[in-house]
Chain A
Amino acid sequence: MADIKDLEKAAREGKLDRREFIKRAGALGLAAPFAATLLSQSVQAAMPKKGGKFVQGTAHGSTTDNLDPATNENGFSQNVVFTYSNHLFEVDNTGQLVPELAESFEASKDAKTWVFRLRKGVEFHNGKSLTADDVLASLNHHRGEDSQSAVKALLTPVESIKKTGSHEVTVKLNAGNADFPFLMSDYHFAILPEFNGEMDWQSGFGTGGYIIEKFEPGVRATFKRNPNYFKSGRAHFDEVETISLIDTTARQNAIMNQEVHAIGRVDPKTVHLLSRNPSLKILETTGTLHYTFPMRVDAPPFDNYDLRMAVKLSVDREQLVKKILLGHGAMGNDHPISSSQPFHNGEMPQRMYDPDKAKHHLKKSGFEGALDLSTSEAAFSGAVDAALLIKDSAAKAGLNVNVVREPKDGYWSNVWNKKPWCACYWGGRPTVDWMYSSAYVNDSEWNDTNWRTGAAADRFNKLVIEARSELDNEKRRAMYYETQQILSDDGGALIPMFANYIHAVSKKIGHDEQVAGNWEFDGNKNVERWWFA
């Protein structure tokens, strides 16, 4: 009964216009079982209760944070952005892309021209109505010579963004990209009101389910419910407080003492103890977060294929997953595509610890001496311990590794992308192409392995560009499978493990059975998705 009622409701609110979306999206090989999503959404929408004050603690936040989405690089500001603002598209709790502020969209056959039609009647918190001008200003905020945006690189292929109607925006790309709407779901591309031709992030007005009441950088942000929110069945809490709780023990104490309702980044080492607390449950999501140890292939001895292979074979991945993640994760196969992603190459055998084979490759490489491995807790929690485990297992394969702990401070500017071999992490990238473009293609600044030339790299780059505008799913799959194989064999990245996001959530909180894994906290959309049960 509830299903029918909700479907009716959805139809009343124009939700079913999304059929248009399914049709077109299907043609591009993007999203698929949208109807199923819609159905599950409406089933759950029957249960949530409204009201209450939700308090959550994130492991991030700094006193230098601000509301500029162009530089929102930590988990605290990501969660804030998703709480008070919306994007053109949203990755839902099942990992599917659904339109958010866009109502529908169209792409040209070559996937070069994209037309986005905006939802009508959406209001910002200051009462201003959403129009194409706001989208224009919001996207242009990340472009241009003086842009300080972290996602400037994502928009370099954009030739022009034009207003083609009061509620229509047309984007032209210089090369086809079938995943372009996916990019628009990135947290940086928040749609905020336009003011004198520029995006106004300063005032803190968004279209989201919650209105910012207080924003104290490095401490907390408080919100109250937006009574005019355009989505129904979302944003159930009356009030929300997001606190920055950097210290792991403080964070875990806060949830154990029931001072907060949810925390992120639970220490995998103590999950089993934390879970014994009767007031909370552990919520774990498998996503795309992975820990890497990039070797820069232009820095000897890492320019040698056999040495790289020796390193990859002398790492005990099982041990790493067991001791660093305490089983809360999975082994990696030296490529960045998670098994939860549709184009994951599952036919490739898992690379295992093989000291004998490693010795063989080491001998072939002719390398003698010790390798320096730079590491820091800044890379990921447990990075120093992980490096020590690598040192231990490599020693048994005859390979000497020196673990160098670098200061946390300035790790990303002094060590990562500079030192020949270091610890690193990569967070959620919902599509294969996006991940490759971030860190593996030859023209990316963030190519932390500097793997840009050579026969294998050339083949890899050629395939990535072809796949980007390939609309046939099967052809695309074949290309992506091959790229994963090339990367795993020849590439410079040692990718031993994928980590789960682990949260502790009060038993008073209700949420959908399935929780998004693209970011922590239900894709950082938990504030509008969760409720008090």
Chain B
Amino acid sequence: MHPVIRTILQRLGLGLVTLFVVSLILFSSIEFLPGDFGEAVLGQAALPETVEAFRKELGLHLPMHERYFDWLGGILTGDMGNSFSGRGSSGGQDRSRPVIELLAPRLANTLFLASMAAIISVPLALFLGITAALYRNTIYDRTVNALTLTTISFPEFFVAYLLILGLSSFTKIFPSLANIDPDAVFWERVYLTALPALTLTLVIVAHMMRMTRAAIINLMASPYIEMADLKGASKSEIILRHALPNAWAPIVTVIAFNLAYLVVGVVVVEVVFVYPGVGQLMVDAVTTRDVPVVQGCAMIFAATYILLNLFADIISIITNPRLLHPR
């Protein structure tokens, strides 16, 4: 079998095992957190008997393993279950709230924001990284480094507040709220998502840029680069034609890591811009102990992470002839 296909199959198989273990860990973590859905929703107003009523309706009185296997059975048949925040059907009305209905629109939003940020940040990081390597140890290199390091060292919410101040309060270019409507048209979405996407760009560009720069510089001492240098190739030619093709593996790994972050780790940005994404949903679900929703979000996040890593590894294999054509 071709090594790429074998790797894909192997990794997908392992991915399924990972998903299973992740679901088990999160399920038991929520279980060990004090309090349950009824207590969390009623807060100060919770009475023992109302909490008990919630437990009975949601099946929380059943033993833990039974509930887990119930959920697992559902997910294997493609049913993510119902959020606890719905209710059992009553008076002939269906009051359930399927997890998928909560998750799907928010996942679309999250992916939209992540793509926006990726489209801006990945080319920017590559450009800055390559040029910094090209002009390494010049003022340009040091300035780019210092600037990106500064943006990376501000807390996300603070970067967001600064951008709001500059681009929203003073200049009124972009709105400070990104609470997009499900019916919004494409360009309206782009406009509303501009500030969160910029914030995320500032947050992740430094990491990718530095790795690009480091990966290229790392190769500069290799004999084959020195050879190219002696041959009389120009500096930019050396970097673009000789160094970069061999530097893809570490760069792509870091890009994959940051793209996963864009999907998985942006809850703070979601809160500041009131952006209806999956991160906020998961935090709320953890707070209210809404286990099926937590599990649903976790599965999406873990799958994103696994797939992006797989993608990075495939690129590494494809760009490395020794791995692509093993002896």
Contacts and interface: CB of A to CB of B under 8 A. Distances in A.
In the complex they form, whether A and B have CB atoms below 8 Å apart is answered with yes
B177 A259 contact: yes
B21 interface: no
Contacts of B313: none
A218 B182 CA distance: 14
Given A64-B41, A195-B91, A245-B274, A413 B35 contact: yes
Contact of A68 (B44, B87, B168, B182): B87
B37 to A, nearest CB: 8
A257 B85 contact: no
A410 B50 CA distance: 17
Contacts of B276: 216, 218-219
Contacts of A73: 41-45
A64 B92 contact: no
Given A200-B93, A202-B95, A247-B272, A63 B280 contact: yes
Interface residues of A, number: 51
A30 interface: no
A66 B86 contact: yes
B286 interface: yes
Contact of A218 (B161, B172, B176, B281): B281
B172 A257 contact: yes
Contacts of B177: 243, 245, 250, 254, 259-260
A66 B272 CA distance: 23
B44 A416 contact: yes
Given A64-B285, A259-B176, A414-B35, A246 B271 contact: yes
Contacts of A254: 176-177
B84 interface: yes
B161 A249 contact: yes
B83 interface: yes
A412 B43 contact: yes
Interface string B280-301: 1100111110100100000000
A63 B102 contact: yes
Given A145-B53, A148-B53, A246-B271, A410 B33 contact: yes
B40 A413 contact: yes
Interface in A229-266: 243-247, 249-250, 253-254, 256-257, 259-260
A219 B179 contact: yes
A149 interface: yes
A434 to B, nearest CB: 13
Contacts of A216: 182, 276
A26 interface: no
A12 B158 CA distance: 58
A259 B175 contact: yes
Interface stretch (A87-95, A150-158, A166-174): A150-158
Interface in B21-42: 33-35, 38-42
B75 interface: no
B248 interface: no
Contacts of B287: 62, 409-410
B90 interface: yes
A75 to B, nearest CB: 12
A367 interface: no
Contacts of B226: none
A71 interface: yes
Contact of A146 (B57, B157, B274, B286): B57
B164 interface: yes
B66 interface: no
B48 interface: yes
Interface string A397-425: 00000000000011011101000000010
A344 interface: no
A516 B35 CA distance: 35
A200 B91 CA distance: 8
Given A247-B271, A410-B40, A446 B45 contact: yes
B274 A244 contact: yes
A298 interface: no
Contacts of A64: 41, 83-85, 284-285, 288, 290, 293
A270 interface: no
Contacts of B240: none
A202 B86 CA distance: 9
Among B46, B285, B290, chain A packs the most CB atoms within 10 A around the CB of B46
Contact of B56 (A146, A149, A246): A146
Contacts of A24: none
Nearest to B96: A202
A528 B154 CA distance: 43
B274 A257 contact: no
A29 interface: no
Contacts of B293: 63-64
Given A218-B276, A413-B40, A446-B44, A148 B91 contact: no
B93 A202 contact: yes
Among B33, B179, B286, chain A packs the most CB atoms within 10 A around the CB of B179
Contact of A151 (B45, B56, B93, B172): B45
B85 A148 contact: no
B34 A195 contact: no
B162 to A, nearest CB: 11
Interface string A123-158: 000000000000000000000011111111100000
Nearest to A154: B45
Among A63, A145, A151, A197, chain B packs the most CB atoms within 10 A around the CB of A63
A243 to B, nearest CB: 6
A78 B50 CA distance: 20
A404 B288 CA distance: 23
B301 to A, nearest CB: 16
A59 to B, nearest CB: 12
Interface string A376-389: 00000000000000
A18 interface: no
Nearest to B282: A63
Contacts of A149: 50
B280 A249 contact: no
A458 interface: no
Contacts of A153: 47
Nearest to B271: A247
Contact of A445 (B47, B93, B179): B47
B169 A253 contact: yes
Among B44, B94, B276, chain A packs the most CB atoms within 10 A around the CB of B44
A439 to B, nearest CB: 9
B273 interface: yes
Contacts of B93: 195-196, 200, 202-203
Interface in A73-100: 73
A253 B280 contact: no
B288 A152 contact: no
Interface of A: 62-66, 68, 71, 73, 145-153, 195-198, 200, 202-203, 216-220, 243-247, 249-250, 253-254, 256-257, 259-260, 409-410, 412-414, 416, 424, 445-446
23 contacts: A63-B102, A63-B285, A63-B293, A64-B284, A68-B87, A71-B41, A71-B42, A151-B45, A152-B49, A153-B47, A197-B91, A202-B95, A217-B85, A218-B281, A244-B274, A245-B274, A246-B274, A253-B176, A410-B34, A410-B35, A410-B287, A412-B39, A412-B43
Given A63-B284, A202-B95, A260-B177, 18 more contacts: A63-B285, A66-B87, A145-B49, A152-B49, A195-B91, A202-B93, A202-B94, A217-B102, A218-B276, A218-B280, A219-B179, A220-B179, A243-B177, A253-B176, A409-B287, A410-B287, A413-B35, A413-B39
